Chains A and B, each alone.
Chain A
Amino acid sequence: MKTDQSSAPAAVRLHAAPPTRKLTILALDPSVRSSGKLLRTQIEIPNEVLSAGPRGYRVHIVDYDATTGSFRSPAPIPAGMNGESGPPCDPFEKLSEDRLLADPDFHAFMAYGIVMKTLARFEFALGRRVGWSYGGHEIHVAPHAFADANAYYSEQTRGLHFGYFTSADGERTIYSCLSHEVVAHETTHALLDGLRERYLYPSSPQQGGFHEGFADIVALLSLLSAQSVVAKVLDLGARKASGEFLPRAQITPEKLRRSGLFALAQEMGAELSGVHGQALRRSVTLQPRADYLTSGDYDEPHDCGEVLVAAVLNAYLEVWVERLKAIGDRRKLDRQRAAEEGAEIADRLLTMCIRAIDYCPPTDLQFGDFASAVLTADWELNPHDEKYRLRGALLASFKSYGIEPSSLCSASHQEGAWDRPPDGFQYANTNFDSLQSDPGELFRFLWENRGPFRLNEQAYTRVLSVRPSIRTGPDGLIVKETVAEYHQQLTVLARELRGLGVAKPSGMPADMAVTIYGGNALIFDQFGRVKYNIGNSILDPSRPEVQERQSRRLAYLWEHGAFDSGAARMRAFSRIHAQRGTSWYRSLRRPE
């Protein structure tokens, strides 16, 4: 054995080390060039003393290729990178383009960098450490995982797998780990699974679509929060651009969408079309229309997710163009400033979208729930929304794509945001301190308040998580909150459904065991009081819409074979991704 021990850093003076390091990555896929050159960027990620691999406290790169069955020894850590002599260096900053593309060590470091950056982005937005769904602390990453135009997150391997394949002309090898978008997308699947594990269970087209759509939103907004990428979009959008200035007439949401983002998608998809480049291409071509989700044509998870991506990207463009009105003169505007604004808006929107996850119900998510969650999460920290008016733009854009916020908010603070629950909870027996981190304490609180929480006493109830969270409020002061989620499941025989007000799917045998789910996300304020109670009751005789939702879900799952044995968990992203490519002969709609 020649690894690990030899590479373990012996004595590094960490006290002097800065909290972050810089690492060169490709901002966009190698197929995208700017004046003939690759688009490099330096990202800032948490600094740590790395072992060979690289391997750090959250990410373990394992260069194992399943197609050839071969393992490549961990990449050594270049001298200076662990801060042996001053601040940690970025060994790839000056490397030639050919070396970057061909060097498997760079591939490993780039994948490491983007996974770390995406993770840090989530932790920043949520104000706490974020874990993986499987309980371990590290995630494996295979940068050259197999010979296929595919990439996936697998809970089974506790890993992210990035394939490679030969280009259409047979000349070059394309590595999906060199696509910033692909790596960020797959990392987001893993992070979202850690935050909301129920979202990978079969439920409805929108819940499946949400995993895909959210991963695309995070990946695309991550790209767009790099100024060099935004500058590229501007150049593609405003064809008559010269030097430092852009002609104002060229800067419209439509132009940026059609020529800017679309052309960028084309360049990204030039070689990786089997894997991702498509998400952007498709989303920017979906014009606002309110009937996509009800038409039945968007039930496949990727298709469904694209509607959500389109709504967010549309809001992004609207806000950006609106903002550009404030800079430059009547005829032209400063290219640099315009790019800065674009990157800033993408960054803010990204924070909003990630933060929204805490405000999403833990089971049976619908896009309308996400819309309400985004609006609530942002209102909490930024009630005025004056500079960019992001909430207003998002709300309008969601509606234009047929995504109506689930909350019919009666309060006047923000249209579409969740309501605060009526105050009627019993806190007398709850220990405030343990309530912030102990699932057992939270369960006691739930049980003692089973009346106001409308818990179903026949169902099995479990607290999935309790996490303290620290965010900076609008006044600059620290806001301490506790974020928790619980979940209920009730298993009955199909013939008992009617008595509960839920329709039995036609053709389902009467003696079949059926499980229905419910669950809530709880936000406690700094005093340990329930601030939000967001979710789906398992059943609620006083609200027929709850039973209707369960009926719809069962009918959908029954139709799609989720009750067949072995289909209990559809935890197979790779399958969803592969289907993209094979959908031709299978994309016929079923006549049932």
Chain B
Amino acid sequence: MAAIPSSITVRMYNVGFGDCFLLTFHYGASERTARHMLVDFGSSAAPRHAPKDYMRRIAEDIARQTKGKLDVLVATHRHRDHISGFAAEGAGAGKIIAALKPDHVILPWTEHPDAAPDARAARFLGSLETMHELAGAALRTSRNPGFAGRETRAQLQFLGDDNLKNLSAVENLIGMGKRGKAWYVNAGMTLNTLLPGVNITVLGPPTLEQSDSIRTERARDPHEFWQFCNFWEARLRTLEAASKPATPPDDPPPSVRWFIQQTRRVEAAQMLELVRELDTVLNNTSVILLLEAGSRKLLFPGDAQIENWTFALRNPSWRKLLADVNLYKVGHHGSLNATPKSLWKLFHHKGSEQQPERLQSLCSTRSGKHGNARAGTEVPRRILVEELRKNSAFASSDEDCASGLSKTFEIRL
């Protein structure tokens, strides 16, 4: 077998709102020598007109394409829209994936099942757990009749659902990691032995210490960190305590009804804000992978947002590496804050259609599910999509896979 792949096939599956990418590295003409890497497999909203068992069908297709053997599996972070397909319960897509016996399973350092490296990290991981519970509590509250307007409620349920623990998927992933080899990664690690002729650099997520190193003098105040933990713990505690009113409430007289109505609106908007906040924190645990094969570079950043990216973007040699990326998996389904301007500026290969070796961008998303255009929070974000269309070869699972399970992209080396 040749030591360097001759071409790479990137298969973007249409999972609706979610991510699922299968990368096949070809070494010469023989299919037997091909190697396969799966990056995420999750969905939080079905594609348009999809059959009910669309996730199982995709899992079966992955099994077919890989001839029953997966070399590398990546779960960028613990959000339903990235890992729900790994759940072994229910439709059983996760069992199909587990049967592909991945040799290597890559997960962010925050998912390490055993002891955290130190007390501070343990505290941080505890906070992430708290956030999942909080998402559950917010989800339950949002179901109360009359809790909020239709739009706010739909947003709360969508985000709340995405941030639940996804325990079955996580357990399956850990199990696969134990049978093969698990890599719990952070920025700066290299995984160059997993696939022949492919160098993998991990650009994120940063560890707590790495985050410290880029924070300002003042923000390094240890108080900030403890507050972060306390913040989520306190919110969960009080939300739970408040779920049962102690005395039967009185009937509000007309003089206070206007105020009560306005207050409920503000309260619902606040809860949505809070859930968005925790969504961001979890997005920022995303693994960012840069794959190099020959002269080609592929960038898979999961849902990493600006806070996660900041560490990588401070590193001059990584900035140089990022300059000639050929394929960019658009971060966080096309939301604006997951493609930092400073990252986009680095890409040399972007440009109009005449641009030789034009940058390919792949956006796995489903419009009309996340945020709204009026508030400027819609995903995918219109102004980002316009820029991607103008200055790269842009493909979106929402529009380009409509006729089938997936769309493939060939990269010749």
Query: Do A and B associate with each other?
Result: yes
Give the interface of A toward B (CB within 8 A).
1, 3-4, 60, 62, 64-73, 140, 142, 145-149, 154, 156-159, 161, 164-166, 168, 170, 273-274, 297-298, 303, 507, 561, 564-567, 574-575, 578, 580-592
Contact of A584 among B217, B228, B311, B342 (CB under 8 A): B228
Given contacts A4-B253, A565-B375, A566-B375, contact A587 B263 (CB under 8 A): no
Given contacts A273-B230, A566-B376, A591-B342, contact A585 B307 (CB under 8 A): yes
Whether A148 lies near B235 (C-beta < 8 A) is yes
Residue of B nearest to A146 (CB): B267
Whether B260 lies near A588 (C-beta < 8 A) is no
Most buried by B among A147, A583, A584: A584
Contact of A297 among B218, B306, B377 (CB under 8 A): B218
Whether B267 lies near A66 (C-beta < 8 A) is yes
Contact of A71 among B242, B249, B274 (CB under 8 A): B249
Point out the residues of chain A lying under 8 angstroms from B314, CB to CB. Answer: 591
Contact of B260 among A71, A298, A578 (CB under 8 A): A71
- Cβ of B373 < 8 Å from any Cβ of A? yes
* Cα separation A67 to B265 with both chains bound (whole Å): 12
Whether B256 lies near A159 (C-beta < 8 A) is no
* Cα separation A65 to B340 with both chains bound (whole Å): 40
14 contacts between A and B (CB under 8 A): A1-B253, A64-B263, A68-B242, A71-B250, A140-B259, A147-B239, A158-B259, A161-B263, A165-B234, A274-B234, A297-B216, A507-B341, A578-B270, A586-B280
Whether B239 lies near A565 (C-beta < 8 A) is no
Most buried by A among B234, B243, B255, B377: B234
Point out the residues of chain A lying under 8 angstroms from B342, CB to CB. Answer: 591-592
Whether B263 lies near A145 (C-beta < 8 A) is yes
B44 vs chain A, min Cβ distance (A): 22
Stretch of B176-184, B190-198, B219-227, B327-335 that contacts chain A: B219-227
Given contacts A66-B264, A589-B215, contact A73 B234 (CB under 8 A): no
Whether A590 lies near B310 (C-beta < 8 A) is yes
Q: Count the A-B residue pairs with Cβ separation under 8 angstroms: how many?
A: 179
Which 3 pairs between the two chains have the least Cβ-Cβ distance?
A584-B228, A70-B249, A581-B231
Give the interface of B toward A (CB within 8 A).
144, 211, 214-219, 224-225, 227-228, 230-231, 234-235, 237-239, 241-245, 247, 249-256, 259-260, 262-267, 270, 273-274, 277, 280-281, 284, 306-307, 310-311, 313-314, 340-342, 373-377
Given A298-B218, A583-B227; 5 other pairs, CB 8 A cutoff? A67-B242, A68-B243, A274-B230, A297-B218, A584-B227
Point out the residues of chain A lying under 8 angstroms from B252, CB to CB. Answer: 64, 71
* Cα separation A561 to B335 with both chains bound (whole Å): 14
* Cα separation A574 to B284 with both chains bound (whole Å): 23
* Cα separation A578 to B260 with both chains bound (whole Å): 22
B272 vs chain A, min Cβ distance (A): 11
* Cα separation A70 to B250 with both chains bound (whole Å): 7
B217 vs chain A, min Cβ distance (A): 7
Point out the residues of chain A lying under 8 angstroms from B227, CB to CB. Answer: 273-274, 580-581, 583-584
B209 vs chain A, min Cβ distance (A): 14
User: Chain A binding site: helix, strand, loop or mixed by DSSP?
Assistant: loop
* Cα separation A65 to B310 with both chains bound (whole Å): 40
* Cα separation A156 to B268 with both chains bound (whole Å): 13
Whether B231 lies near A582 (C-beta < 8 A) is yes
Contact of A578 among B239, B264, B274 (CB under 8 A): B274
Whether B231 lies near A157 (C-beta < 8 A) is no
User: Chain B binding site: helix, strand, loop or mixed by DSSP?
Assistant: helix
Whether B224 lies near A66 (C-beta < 8 A) is no
* Cα separation A507 to B344 with both chains bound (whole Å): 13
B300 vs chain A, min Cβ distance (A): 21
B337 vs chain A, min Cβ distance (A): 9
Residue of A nearest to B214 (CB): A588
Whether B340 lies near A591 (C-beta < 8 A) is yes
Residue of B nearest to A592 (CB): B342
Point out the residues of chain A lying under 8 angstroms from B270, CB to CB. Answer: 146, 574-575, 578
Whether A147 lies near B241 (C-beta < 8 A) is yes
Whether B230 lies near A62 (C-beta < 8 A) is no
* Cα separation A310 to B320 with both chains bound (whole Å): 43
B379 vs chain A, min Cβ distance (A): 14
Residue of A nearest to B309 (CB): A591
B371 vs chain A, min Cβ distance (A): 10
A274 vs chain B, min Cβ distance (A): 6
Whether A147 lies near B242 (C-beta < 8 A) is yes
A223 vs chain B, min Cβ distance (A): 22
Whether B228 lies near A575 (C-beta < 8 A) is no
* Cα separation A49 to B215 with both chains bound (whole Å): 55
Whether B313 lies near A591 (C-beta < 8 A) is yes
B351 vs chain A, min Cβ distance (A): 17
Given contacts A68-B242, A583-B228, A585-B284, contact A157 B259 (CB under 8 A): yes
Whether B249 lies near A72 (C-beta < 8 A) is yes
Contact of A575 among B211, B273, B311 (CB under 8 A): B273
Residue of A nearest to B341 (CB): A592
Whether B277 lies near A582 (C-beta < 8 A) is yes
Point out the residues of chain A lying under 8 angstroms from B259, CB to CB. Answer: 62, 64, 140, 142, 157-159
Point out the residues of chain A lying under 8 angstroms from B144, CB to CB. Answer: 69
Given contacts A64-B263, A297-B218, contact A566 B230 (CB under 8 A): no
Point out the residues of chain A lying under 8 angstroms from B211, CB to CB. Answer: 585, 588
Point out the residues of chain A lying under 8 angstroms from B242, CB to CB. Answer: 65, 67-68, 147
* Cα separation A164 to B241 with both chains bound (whole Å): 11
* Cα separation A170 to B240 with both chains bound (whole Å): 12
A329 vs chain B, min Cβ distance (A): 41
Whether B234 lies near A166 (C-beta < 8 A) is yes
B268 vs chain A, min Cβ distance (A): 9
Point out the residues of chain B lying under 8 angstroms from A149, CB to CB. Answer: 231, 234-235, 238
Whether B263 lies near A157 (C-beta < 8 A) is yes
* Cα separation A401 to B242 with both chains bound (whole Å): 44
Whether A585 lies near B234 (C-beta < 8 A) is no
* Cα separation A173 to B241 with both chains bound (whole Å): 10
Point out the residues of chain B lying under 8 angstroms from A507, CB to CB. Answer: 341
Point out the residues of chain B lying under 8 angstroms from A575, CB to CB. Answer: 270, 273
Point out the residues of chain B lying under 8 angstroms from A590, CB to CB. Answer: 306, 310, 340
Point out the residues of chain A lying under 8 angstroms from B255, CB to CB. Answer: 4, 60
B228 vs chain A, min Cβ distance (A): 3
B216 vs chain A, min Cβ distance (A): 5
Point out the residues of chain A lying under 8 angstroms from B245, CB to CB. Answer: 65, 68-70
Point out the residues of chain B lying under 8 angstroms from A4, CB to CB. Answer: 253, 255
Contact of B250 among A72, A297, A578 (CB under 8 A): A72
Point out the residues of chain B lying under 8 angstroms from A298, CB to CB. Answer: 218
Whether B340 lies near A566 (C-beta < 8 A) is no
Point out the residues of chain B lying under 8 angstroms from A66, CB to CB. Answer: 263-264, 266-267
Contact of A166 among B224, B241, B373, B377 (CB under 8 A): B241
Point out the residues of chain B lying under 8 angstroms from A146, CB to CB. Answer: 267, 270
Contact of A156 among B216, B237, B262, B311 (CB under 8 A): B262
* Cα separation A246 to B228 with both chains bound (whole Å): 40
Point out the residues of chain A lying under 8 angstroms from B238, CB to CB. Answer: 67, 147-149, 164-166
